[in-house]
Amino acid sequence: MADLVPSRIEVRDLTLTYGHDTVLDALNLPIPRGKVTVLAGPNGCGKSTLLRAIRRLHTGQKGQIFLDNVDIASLGAKDLARQIGLLAQNPSAPPDMTVEELVRLGRYPHQAMLQPWSEKDGVAVNRAMDGTGVTGLKTRRIGSLSGGQLQRAWIAMVLAQETDVICLDEPVNHLDMAHQLDCLDLVSKLNQEDGRTIVLVLHDLNLAARYADQLVFVHEGRVRALGQPEELMKPELLAEVFEVDAAIMTDPVHGRPICIPRGRARAAVQELA
């Protein structure tokens, strides 16, 4: 399946160490063009680190990342920011910044010394705000927004960047169920309507299985498995990667696999005892 669609991003032998801890260990990963790839794994497995590494945000990372066969190490900071957008896990901005100001910052990589602010930038900002439904909030200050509004404002900032690849690090973490769906439906719309390549880190395995075209299990700094959700949502694999004993069923609404954990996996329980 992955061979039919040429990879947008190809991660090769990516290694990252913090002191004596190896966070990513010679990791290889293809990210297919125009698909939604979801990185999942237990806490501390390196999935968020991997996402930031794809955007070349770690100093001292070894290995190569190819974007359309070009090593991103050869791209300038703004060049790269025009191609890959990333929403951080806990982004922060001054509370008295307005929503519009924030979204306009997404145009920063498109601006240069002699070409400050163009009509094109304005169009991109308005489109990003329309797409995320924050146009009505544009004069509001960041500090006065609710969690869901804030998240949409940040997504609008990333959209204004107009990158073909969008990475989102746990975008639904602090949101209630309705806003989680809003957010992921928006992401999935960007993928389906604009054909953008999306890379998500998600904690919730059932949401991951529902939205992913390609699901990736990251475990101990390596890719343990990748494929369609149906291929990965297997009891043995979940026991190994997530240390849970789970039953897998098919979601009657979307036809996607869902897991229902019974408890900690037996191997893990024995280990603890």
Partner 1 sequence: MSTLAVSAPAGRRFGIGAIVLIIVGLFVLLTLAAVGFGSTWIPLETVANVILGGGEKTEKLVVWQLRMPRVMAAAIAGAAIAFSGYLLQRITRNELASPGVLGVVDGAALGVVLFLAIFSNESNALTVSVAWQPLAAAIGALTAISLVFILSGRQSSSAIRLLLFGIAIAAVAKALTTVFMLVGPVYQAAQAARWLAGAVNAISWSEIQIMAICLVPTVLVAAWLAKDLPPADLDDVSSRSIGLNLPVYRIAVFFVAAVLTSIAVAFVGGVGFLGLIAPHLARLLVGRSRFAGILTSCLLGAMMLIGADLLVRVVFTPLEVPAGTVTAIVGAPYFLFLLMRKDKTNG
Residue ranges binding partner 1 (CB under 8 A): 52, 55, 57, 77-78, 80-82, 84-94, 96-97, 101, 105-106, 108-109, 138-139, 157, 161
What is the nearest approach in angstroms of partner 1 to the Cβ of residue 219? 24
- Our CB check for partner 1 shows the closer of 91 and 227 to be 91
| Full 3-state SS string of 139-188 | CCEHHHCCHHHHHHHHHHHHHHCCCCEEEEECCCCCCCHHHHHHHHHHHH
- The least CB distance from residue 169 to partner 1, in Å, is 8
Identity of the residue, 9 or 93, whose beta carbon is nearer to partner 1 in the bound complex: 93
Residue with tokens 């979801």: 38
CB of residue 195 to partner 1, shortest distance in Å: 21
CB 56 to partner 1: min, Å? 9
| 64 or 89: CB nearest partner 1 | 89
Q: Distance between CA atoms of 254 and 214, rounded to whole angstroms?
A: 16
Which residues lie below 8 Å from residue 268, measured CB to CB, with a gap of 6+? 239, 243
Q: Between vectors from CA 232 to CA 228 and to CA 236, what angle results, nearest 5°? A: 170
Q: From the CB of 91, what's the least distance to partner 1, in Å?
A: 5
DSSP 3-state of 52: helix
CA torsion, points 120, 126, 129, 132, in degrees to nearest 10? Answer: -80
Cα–Cα nearest to 26, from 5, 51, 50: 50
- Quick one: 98 or 228, whose CB is closer to partner 1? 98
Closer residue to partner 1 (CB): 17 or 206: 17
Q: Which is nearer to partner 1, 52 or 210 (CB)?
A: 52
- For the chain, helix, strand, coil in percent to 5 are 40, 30, 30
What minimum distance in Å lies between the beta carbon of 103 and partner 1?
11
